[in-house]
Amino acid sequence: MSAPHSSPPKAAATLEISRQLLAHGIQPTPQRIEIASVFLCGDVHLSAEQVIARVAGNGRPVSKATVYNTLGLFRERGLLSQVSVDSTRVFYDSNTSPHYHFFNVDTGVLTDGDGPLPTLETLPAPPPGTMTEAVDVVIRVRNGPTPAT
């Protein structure tokens, strides 16, 4: 799911975003506030390129490096989660609670699953000296035939 284009944050929104960043141990800067405003407007799944386009669309372009570094920091501090849908595509998700995703390979859209988490009866043991950090579930789907009416 992607929220509509967000506009530049207003003063009250900027203050709230700054508080959320500080609560996650992130020093607010104008660029970080601008990038966070794209995600904190709702349940959003965006690639770094989509973030760059949205921020630029708000009239405040930031460098590609700044966006990638900021998204990495937000992920490290738990403000966003990262979803890899294949070896070349990564999305950043504003919903950090446990959930699964559907990725439409025809449209390139990532959406949240809305049912209970799928269960994995037998998760293999990790290699010696390691531990399981997370299990991500991305269900890849394609557009099907249009039903006849």
Measured from the Cβ of residue 82, the count of other Cβ atoms closer than 10 Å reads 14
99 assigned to some structural domain: no
- The residue among 117 and 65 whose pLDDT is bigger is 65
Tokens of 114: 């809305």
The count of domains in the chain is 1
* Amino acid at residue number 72: G
**Structural domain range at position 73:** 11-86
pLDDT at residue number 1: 47
Residue 69: which CATH number?
A: 1.10.10.10
Residue 106 lies inside a defined structural domain of this protein: no
pTM, full prediction: 0.81
What is the model's pLDDT at position 6?
54
User: Is 93 within 8 Å of 45 (Cβ atoms)?
Assistant: yes
91 by Cβ neighbours in 10 Å (0-12 / 13-18 / 19+) ranks as buried
State residue 2's pLDDT score.
45
Model pLDDT, residue 53: 94
Please check whether residue 66 lies inside any domain of the structure.
Answer: yes
